[in-house]
Structure 1
Amino acid sequence: MRTRQATVLVRSDVRVLGGRYELRQRLGTGAMGEVWLGYDRLSRRAVAVKLVHREGPGGRYAAESVQRFVREVQFLQRLRHHGIPEYFDAQSDPGAGELYLVMEHIRGRTLAEITAGGRVLPEREVVSIAARICEVLEHLHAVPVIHRDLKPSNIMRVSRERLVLLDFGVARMFRIDQVRLTTANRVLGTVAYMPPEHVGGQEVTPRSDLYSLSCVLYELLTGIPPFPGDDVTEVMRWHKHREPKPVSLLRPGVAPALEAVIMAGLAKRADDRPTSAREFRERLGPPGRGTATSAPQRTSVRKASGCPVPTTSRPLRVRITQAQALLDGGLLGDAMPRFAELVEELAACGPERVEEAARCRLGYAHCRARYGFHREAFDDLTALKELLQPGRRLDDPLMLDVRFRIGQLQLALDDLYGINEIAEVYEILVAAGRPEDVTMVEEVRLALNRATLG
């Protein structure tokens, strides 16, 4: 009897829309509204229900929010594809009550969830994901609809065979007779994946989606978008005026042809990008077999000593200092590719440049660790430690720095032996008593205390 009463009480507290759709659990919220896990009493199935935020005094709907919502409903009504959530029902008249959109409840994980913590994906997987996204974009662009907000959190993997694009709140038709919705001083879409023409308020086309797709693929391979940063204005400026670092600088060994397709998609001028989602997909080639087109291999001119001829007139010492200054300033997106380039250049120089090469490898590993690639950075530094160990004193500054970073990474990987490593470094530094080590002693002491106190 008590169980029945409790059940009735819970059900009486559930919000019901249209006398039919129960709202059971909030799945997420955004600038425009909320998405709930719902239950359709009529069809007896789980559904996803999207609600629109009310704004201003009296809880009224903003005119632009209503327009965007109505447009999303209209788009989903006409879109039928396994890569798009199925439309079920909607209430789009603000005069009739609460605005809501009922659609298929997609069970899966977004690419943002899959790559959380800076995890990168294997090339084969990235090619497969790209091909499936292109298939959905081919359907959208034929309607014709532009998504305008492709990003990892709007792409959900349901299974190996199915990938779904979410959130058509800022999508639009691209025929010239369609009315554009704009708001003064407001950009619709997500800046990290936004094409230059969208940033500049110019007309968007299907090639604009290909730019955003390329930003997503860039991040899946490297762990960061082409232009990382928290300053929205600066990132927007970079999309328009700065060339992205080659994928291979952040993901050494990536297939040149795959890099070529992504970099072509990141062209500033829309006319320089692949002409369509179909062409983009065809250039990717079958998953697991590389890409269909090849990019020319880079050749390095070398000095007689074996070191590559620098591509800049700046001395090596200056370039290393520049990279380190960027790292010290927290500008990881700029520091990491510089260190990667220096590591590649110095690897060919042999023992004559071992000290500079080691410092650049340390800097590169530090960047990777800051982006969440803890295991990769740990492996890099462990190999560097083994390389440096023979013939070096216990209190060698570079060796101690490497050991300290290894200890920190061990803790990040839940290996408590990292405390031992950090404690030994601290003991050696204190015993050495060198004035030039004061800053490092303080950094190691703080890290050791944090690890000790949990």
Structure 2
Amino acid sequence: MSAPGRVIAGRYELSTLIGQGGMGQVWTAYDQRLDRRVAVKLLRPDKVAGQEADELRRRFVRECRVTAQVDHPGLVTVHDAGSADDDLYLVMQYVDGSDLADHLAEHDPYPWPWAVAVATQLCGVLSAVHAVPIVHRDLKPRNVMVKPDGTLTVLDLGVASVIDSDTTRLTHTGSPIGSPAYMAPEQAMGGAVGPYTDIYALGVLLHELLSGNVPFAGTTALGVLHRHLYEPPLPVRQLRPEVPDALEALVLRMLAKDPQHRPASTQEVYEALVPFLPAHGTPLGPLDPTRPFLRPAAPWPDRARTPAAQAVPAAAPVDQRKPDVAQAVDDVKRLLGEGRITQAVDILGAILPAAAAQHGEHSPVVRTLRKQYAATLMDDGQYRRALPELRRLADERAAEAGMADPAALQFRYDAAQCLEQLGEPAAALAEYRALLPYYENQYATTDRELALEVRRRIGHLLLALGDRAAAHDMLRALLYDAERLHGPNHAFPGEIRRTLHWLGQVRG
């Protein structure tokens, strides 16, 4: 249907296939115009015959319109939609994190306060969806992303249906829309759906988080649907005795066969969950869904500290075929020439392990790629990711050629710039001070100019740290040397002179 590198609508370049069904695919992609990652959903109406193809087109148009109406931080943002060749496409926000199914698999047993936090956040999202009014109709862990700050994003409103008396039901063919394990009895029977249908699915999801398994499983979809219709769910406390009685009772109400016996709204479910939310404590690291309640509106945890050196660069996934290193290098050169830095960064990050396996970790090819990767990260403003790469390059080069090697010094200088940009003045100051003697011992004009620049940065960092006396002494001596090298009318001593004038006013 599609392949990596295909450009949709002259703008969105497909990268990695991340989901596929009978009628469509979901890809990570790059917006060439804005140089950002996006997700692209493609549908093929021609895969469905006759009237059903027309219905799919109408459903797609409806999806785009109604999804765009919902404004909630817990829902994926729709950027664009249209048709290209035989495909219908929907361009959405790229969401970083882990889907809830993987999150559950990585934490066994799943802490029950986490389960409550997940369900509570989903209540907020579903309330916004139901207010449009829309029914999601396919709520499941694979459609929920846990972001690094612990907040959730619901991904797929693609099978949503507008709750309107004059809207033709999309299940008129007799094929229920949704996933059997999370499907409410009325949905399985092809009956009318409403917010109560999503409440049932949320109950299934909450039961799964608390117990480790969905309440109704089977070897066939028909068998699963039969159990939804006729069997009672196993109370979660029989599997997890530490779950509070009232929480178990809420889950059983949400899983009632009769929609009238379920909570009346997601607002009601939310209010019932609030008493079980943690009221104090410290989040247990990134991807902790209780974080929004423990520290409301707090910054993302991984955006407030500098990472240590890492052996393998973290990057968004790209094409899963065996990478061609030479072709990737050519692609990076082309992308950089076109100003598409974000995509170039991801290709470099993904190609490095393959290049290391093919040529050796310390080969000239890999070293060159890593230099380009670090430089491109800096060009893209990704200083937090660039810093460990630069530190590693500096250490390796110094071990091979000595601490005074120009390349090793340049890597350290770039790392110090990253520390400045990351708001770590003390660490940056220490790095610049350690570098300065090496540059001052050189006699080339470029090294002397770089020594002056390092001294200027040291003076400014001293100001940032509140040591005005030391900053004044550093900048005054710097002005004398800069005028000797460049002359009094050069821009560099002029800038130092202005800083000293301002500093003298403040000190006075």
- The Cα of 1:33 is off from its aligned counterpart by 1.1
SS in 1 for 2:87: coil
Contact 2:4-2:16 at 8 Å conserved across structures: no
* 2:172 counterpart of 1:177: no
Task: Return 5+ residue gaps in structure 1 as ranges.
Answer: 1-11, 291-454
Larger radius of gyration: 2
Which of 239, 247, 251 is equivalent to 2:236?
247
Match of 2:138, SS state, is: coil
Q: Which residue of 2 aligns with 1:15?
A: 6
Q: How far 1:264 moved relative to its partner?
A: 0.7
1:162 to 126, 129, 151: 151
Aligned to 2:250: 261
Residue number among 61, 77, 95 corresponding to 1:70 in the alignment: 61
How big is the shift at 1:118? 8.5
8 Å Cα contact 1:147/1:170 also seen in 2: yes
- Following the alignment from structure 1 to structure 2, what is the Cα–Cα distance between the partners of residues 57 and 169? 16
Which of 60, 74, 80 is the aligned partner of 1:83?
Answer: 74
Tell me the number of residue pairs that the alignment of Structure 1 and Structure 2 aligns: 277
- Displacement of 1:37: 1.1
Show CA shifts across 1:203-252 (max 9, x none): 11101100000000100111111111122112111111111111111222
1:43 aligns with 2:34: yes
C-alpha distance in structure 2 between counterparts of 1:23 and 1:45, whole Å: 12
C-alpha deviations, 1:146-168, integer Å up to 9, x for none? Answer: 00001111111113442111111
| Structure 1 residue 64, shift from structure 2 partner | 3.4
> Within 5 Å, which residues of 2 pair with 1:430-441?
none
1:54-94 per-position Cα deviation (integer Å, ceiling 9, x unaligned): 545999993333233222211222122111111111114x7
Distance 1:117 1:13, change over 3 A: closer
Tell me if structure 2 keeps the 8 A contact 1:187–1:199. yes
What CA distance in whole angstroms lies between the structure 1 residues aligned with 2:10 and 2:173?
38
Gaps of 5+ in 2: 281-508
Residues 279 and 55 of structure 1: is their aligned pair in 2 closer, same or farther, counting only changes over 3 Å?
same
Tell me which residue corresponds to 1:128: 117
What is the deviation of 1:179?
Answer: 2.2
Tell me the equivalent position of 1:288: 278
CA contact (8 A) 2:123 2:270 kept: yes
The whole-number CA distance in structure 2 between the counterparts of 1:69 and 1:30 is 15
- Counterpart CA distance in 2 for 1:61 and 1:40 is 31
Q: How does 1:181-330 map to 2 (within 5 A)?
A: 181-286=170-275, 287-288=277-278
Work out whether residues 100 and 142 of structure 2, in 8 Å CA contact, stay in contact via their aligned partners in 1: yes
Q: For the Cα contact (< 8 Å) 1:22–1:40, is it kept in 2?
A: yes
For 2:105 and 2:4, locate their aligned partners in 1 and report how far apart those are by CA, in whole Å. 35
* Counterpart in the other structure of 1:7: none
Q: Deviations over 1:256-286 (max 9, x none)?
A: 1111111110111111111110110100124
Instruction: In structure 2, give the amino acid aligned to 1:91.
Output: G
Q: Which amino acid aligns with 2:88?
A: L
- Asked if the contact 2:46/2:86 (under 8 Å) is kept, the reply is no
Paired amino acid for 1:31? G
Q: Could you say which residue in structure 2 is the equivalent of 1:100?
A: 89
Percent identical: 41
Supply the AA of the counterpart residue of 1:146: V
1:32 Cα deviation (Å)?
3.1
Indicate if the aligned counterparts of 1:110 and 1:152 stay in contact, CA closer than 8 A: yes
Offset, 1:187: 1.6
Q: 1:34 offset after TM fit, Å?
A: 0.9
Residue 54 and residue 120 in structure 1: after superposition, are their counterparts in 2 closer, same or farther (change >3 A)? Answer: farther
